[in-house]
Structure 1
Amino acid sequence: MPGYRFTQYIPPQTKEGADFDRLLQVLMQLLNITGGDVSEALNWLNNLDQRYQLTTDDYGIGDFIEDLKAKGYLKEDESAARLIMTPKSEMTIRRTAFEEIFGKLKKARPGNHKTGQSGQGDEHGTDLRSYQFGDAPEHIAVTESIRNAHINHGINDFQLLDSDLEVVETEFRAQTSTVLMIDISHSMILYGEDRITPAKKVAMALSEFIMRQYPKDTLDVIVFGNDAWQIQIKDLPYLQVGPYHTNTIAGLELAMDLLRRRKNPNKQILMITDGKPTCMKVGIKYYKNSFGIDRKILRKTLTLAVQCRKLKIPVTTFMIASDPYLQAFVREFTEANQGRAYYSNIDELGSFIFEDFQRNRRKTVR
């Protein structure tokens, strides 16, 4: 039987292409771990190649580096005579984190957040109602309205009146403003456990997820050590832990300030930390105490938790630590805020944050 059979086109992949893609995946992970230090990441890649034979005689690390520059992943920093990442690399790291953490999610329409409320929203529902003055013309159900006109006036005297019109009920799609707080105090790399890399990876995956699925939402990322400051999404791969104490107070104050500027009613704070607050600023000086839980710092932290509650801003704390006295602090903080807390390890962090982000988007704070 003559005709054509259509099948999925799978482009041929050369051996060189396969080698490049495989090495690229490894390099993206190393760049995340090294805080965007290309030289250190390539040194690690060389060490891994010597140990696990990642390359072949036909395609070596030198060939890979030349391809990275040719394809726009790396470029020369002439002022410092070194290789640096390009925006293409930064985007690739974010997408790699997204696929690793949220790769099993089902596709959804951008901004598809149901609130269970009907009204003059931006998404068509399934219910019909009579036309009311002020309804948008594009919401008129043409077929049903013409049918009503035939029934009410007959075919010979056809006319379409306001009373014949029906409109499709629409549903609201709420927006959510999220601030993600990441602890970069020194304890995030203590005791031989790297906690900052999973935190960065989750932040990049969450930002990529929001940009893909909920483009009307906002996500601000802040880091807190001795102080707190906002960073851009593109800066996440370069984030590193410093010799800092944990000034949770500064982080909460900055998060509240950012959320005050957002006009939509749905707001939340997601805080990733592995310890207790040990620092606060009094005037121009830092008040620090790393030995146990300081009552002066605790009182100020709990006061901010209550302020967030009064502003209808739930705080969800993701505690990457199992010490009982640290968990006791989180429970007290959560009770003051009436928010939520998760005691997770670094492997479960991504699923916990996604679950909580979705949960808070399903309710509208009034």
Structure 2
Amino acid sequence: MSYRYGEYRDGPDPLAPPYDVRSALDRMGDAILSGANPGHALRDLLREGLPGAPDRRGLDELLREVRRRRRELRERGRLDGTLERARALLDKAIGQERAELFPDPSDAARMREAELDALPDDTASAIRELGDYQWYSAAARQTFEELRDLLRGEVLDSQFRGMRQALADPDPAAMEQVRRMMSDLNDMLDRDARGEHTQEDFEEFMAKYGEMFPESPRNLEELVDTLARRAAATQRLLASLTPAQREELSRLIDQTLEQAGLAEQMRRLGESLYSRRPDLAWNTPERMGGDEPMGMSDAVSALDELADLTQLEAALRQDYPGAGMDDVDEAAIRRALGRAAVDDLEALKQVERELERQGYLSRRRGKLELTPKAVRRLGETALRRVFSSLEAGRRGDHDQPDAGSAGELTGSSRPWRFGDEQPIDVVRTVVNGVRRGGGGRTGGDGKAGKVRLSVDDFEVAETERRTAAAVCLLVDLSYSMALRGTWAAAKQTALALQALVSSKFPQDAVQIIGFSNYARVLRPDELAGLEWDMVQGTNLHHALLIAGRHLDRHPDFEPVVLVVTDGEPTAHLRRNGSAAFEWPPTQETLELTLAEVDKMTRRRATLNVFMLADDERLKEFVDEVARRNGGRVFSPGADRLGEYVVSDFLRARRTR
């Protein structure tokens, strides 16, 4: 049997590598670690474009293209071109008629001139009056017919794109075909409203009248969408004219439809389209600033495209609640910017889909959240940032990808047991295999034989025993942290410490506590999306209570307590569980908070405070904390907070 291999054609290639979204997540991480929430970070990523793909445009660049296109359309011309041209043709026909009548001395000629003198000033009424006029001049008659053809073509083409070509043939049969199409279309819409329409009905309709619809709709829904958008654009055209122009053009449209025998059918169609698509901007005026007059059909096409671009601009901005990439209409992008823009949009959508599919993002109650998998990666990123700013220290201070998983090596080894995580002692393991007779003999060709190892041959390198620590990081979430610009640094520090403990000190028990008017334990998976609380109060008393319970649950662990704050305590927890806030802080608040500091001292927990403000009240308070507890006080800038906290934690771990 022979086999031929080629491209997989039955859907996505199952052997294709997964879409690489790590660079996209890292770009989002930069924004999240700077204080943004996941939803805003993803929106900013999609707006800027994909990292490592310079040929792919982001939403901002697509938005600039849409706005440029809108400016071009608005500057294309004036909307009253049909009125202007109709008036010009009418004046021409009347002038040609007068030129023929002037040399004629008969009373009939004078009567005709009097009839022309009595014509109304507005174009629509004058055309109606001349409908039954017996032209004396053949040239004037021809000009008037040209005027009628112009109006009929413009009016119908404004509703059905491409109708001017269908009406170019002067044969009355062409107009009759239009009447039959309108009647069949309205009948099909009525059947659809009753639930009786089928796709076969639509295909039969398109087989008869497909040349009148250059958009080539595939079903009735697409046909209705096309016609409704043009009908709405026609109404916007009328709304954009002056009241006098609007009245004159409306009368011209009504008159033209009546003469063509289409007034009733067009009324039925308009009502059906409006009932199906009331969401379109039917009567919203549009400002046009060009100098060249546009015909009615061209003006409607421009306004139709402008409506598309307006909706597209709103979708591309993504600045409304619940915004998502699925809101951007691919068909509208294709119509406005072409096929390349559709590919750019699909690439952006794929990033959003893959971030969710590969387990980095999830949606909960419509809100975008980072998964624990994403938080771990962002924590590693935050930790790398901190380590990149640390000076070289003793062994073990820095993140080493080839470091052992336990403590320092002692130089001795022991037999491997199931569950051991210590590194394998390769030399002793191979020597055991040779001694057992598992290999090492020289073959007939003079080459050494292979060593065969059994489970009993393996030995592991012994490492020093490390003590476990109960770590509490207390982070101020109060409104002042955002006002002073220190909130982003505090969040990045929490992520970095969480990543450090989980990766290098997995035996430690870490708890991160956020506090404002109340305190609460923060889960690792909510750290990245954490936001400051827009409330008043710095309830360090409550935070220390929670931290004390964590230390008490791990009595054999070394206690480590780190506090990051920018203000003195201004709230405490009452006996009934409610928070009491007062500024300046009351003596009761200070006494209760310091009482918890004394409890930490009795637990042998050193309490180090990282002070993010130079307030005198805060200095006095933290100095008192240091005096009672023996801990240290740091005053780092926001850009070095993570470095200070991680360095202090590592120093404390080394001393043990």
- TM-score, normalised by the number of residues in structure 1: 0.70
Residue 286 (structure 1) shift: 2.8
> CA–CA distance in 2 between the matches of 1:170 and 1:213?
14
Alignment partner of 2:642: what SS?
helix
Cα shift readout 1:9-39 (whole Å, capped 9, x = no counterpart): xxxxxxx97xx6655433222234455341x
Higher helix share: 2
1:228 Cα deviation after fit: 1.4
1:75-224 counterparts in 2 under 5 A?
A: 77=363, 80=366, 83-103=368-388, 105-107=398-400, 108-112=403-407, 124=410, 171-191=464-484, 193=485, 195-224=486-515
Tell me the residue number matched to 1:359. 651
Query: Does structure 2 conserve the Cα–Cα contact (< 8 Å) formed by 1:77 and 1:83?
Result: yes
Q: Which amino acid aligns with 1:66?
A: Q
Query: Aligned-residue CA RMSD in angstroms?
Result: 3.1
**Contact residue 178 and residue 269 of structure 1 kept, 8 A:** yes
Equivalent position SS for 1:269: strand
- Kindly state the Cα deviation for residue 48 of structure 1 after the two structures are TM-superposed: 5.1
Indicate conservation of the 8 Å contact 1:220/1:230, yes or no.
Answer: yes
Structure 1 distance, partners of 2:495, 2:630, is 27
The AA in structure 2 aligned to 1:89 is A
Q: Secondary structure at the match of 1:362?
A: helix
Confirm or deny that 1:299 pairs with 2:591: yes
Q: State how many pairs are aligned.
A: 291
Secondary structure, aligned partner of 2:528: helix
Distance 2:602 2:353 in 1: 52
Partner in structure 2 of residue 273 of structure 1:
565
Q: Deviations over 1:261-299 (max 9, x none)?
A: 1032411101111110000122234322122x4322111
Relative to structure 1, the CA distance from residue 110 to residue 322 in structure 2 (aligned partners, 3 Å threshold; closer, same or farther) is farther
1:261 pairs with 2:553 = yes
CA contact (8 A) 1:48 1:54 kept: no
Q: 1:87 to 1:176 in 2, by over 3 A?
A: closer
Q: Distance in 2 between matches of 1:41 and 1:214?
A: 30
Query: Which contiguous aligned blocks of 4+ residues in structure 1 show a shift greater than 6 angstroms?
Result: none
Tell me, yes or no, if structure 1 residue 70 matches structure 2 residue 354: yes
1:358 deviates by 1.7
What secondary structure is seen at the aligned counterpart in 1 of 2:404? Answer: coil
Give the Å deviation of 1:75.
Answer: 5.2
SS of match in other structure, 1:316: strand
Shift in Å, 1:305 = 1.2
Q: What is the DSSP-based 3-state SS (H/G/I as helix, E as strand, rest coil) of the residue aligned with 1:238? A: coil
Q: Judging changes above 3 Å, is the alpha-carbon distance between structure 1 residues 96 and 65 closer, same or farther for their aligned structure 2 residues?
A: farther
Inter-partner Cα distance in structure 2 for 1:77 and 1:333 = 43
Alignment match, 1:319: 611
Amino acid at match of 1:92: R
Give the structure-2-normalised TM-score. Answer: 0.41
What amino acid sits opposite 2:405 in the alignment? P
CA–CA distance in 1 between the matches of 2:616 and 2:517? 24
The answer to whether the 8 A contact 2:536-2:581 is kept is no
Letter in 2 for 1:91: R
Q: Secondary structure at the match of 2:605?
A: coil
Assess, with a 3 A threshold, how the Cα gap between structure 1 residues 94 and 278 changes in structure 2: closer, same or farther.
Answer: same
Give the Cα separation in 1 of the matches to 2:369 and 2:634: 37
Structure 1 letter corresponding to 2:556:
N
Shift of 1:68: 4.0
The alignment status of 1:286 with 2:571, answered yes or no, reads no
Q: In structure 1, what is the equivalent of residue 293 of structure 2?
A: none
Q: Which runs of 5+ in 2 are unaligned?
A: 1-18, 60-344, 391-397, 413-427, 429-460
1:203-242 Cα offsets, whole Å, 9 max, x none, are 1111111122111112111111111111211110121111
* Larger RCO of the pair (alpha carbons < 8 Å, separation 6+): 1
Contact 1:184 1:244 in 2 (8 A): no
Q: Check conservation: 2:38, 2:369, Cα contact below 8 A.
A: yes
Q: Rg larger in 1 or in 2?
A: 2
Residue 640 of structure 2 corresponds to residue 348 of structure 1: yes
Distance 2:624 2:471 in 1: 23
Give per-residue Cα distances to partners, 1:302-358, cap 9 Å, x unaligned: 221112111101111111112233212111111111111101111111121122112
Q: Is the 8 A contact 1:271 1:316 kept in 2?
A: yes
Structure 1 partner of 2:77: none
2:116 alignment partner in structure 1: none
- CA shift for structure 1 position 78: 8.1
CA contact (8 A) 2:487 2:532 kept: yes
Structure number with higher strand proportion: 1
SS in 1 for 2:559: strand
Q: Give the AA of the match of 1:357.
A: F
User: Could you tell me whether the CA contact under 8 Å between 1:279 and 1:287 is conserved in 2?
Assistant: yes
Q: Is the 2:571–2:589 contact (alpha carbons within 8 Å) kept by the matching residues of 1?
A: yes
SS of the residue corresponding to residue 173 of structure 1 reads: coil
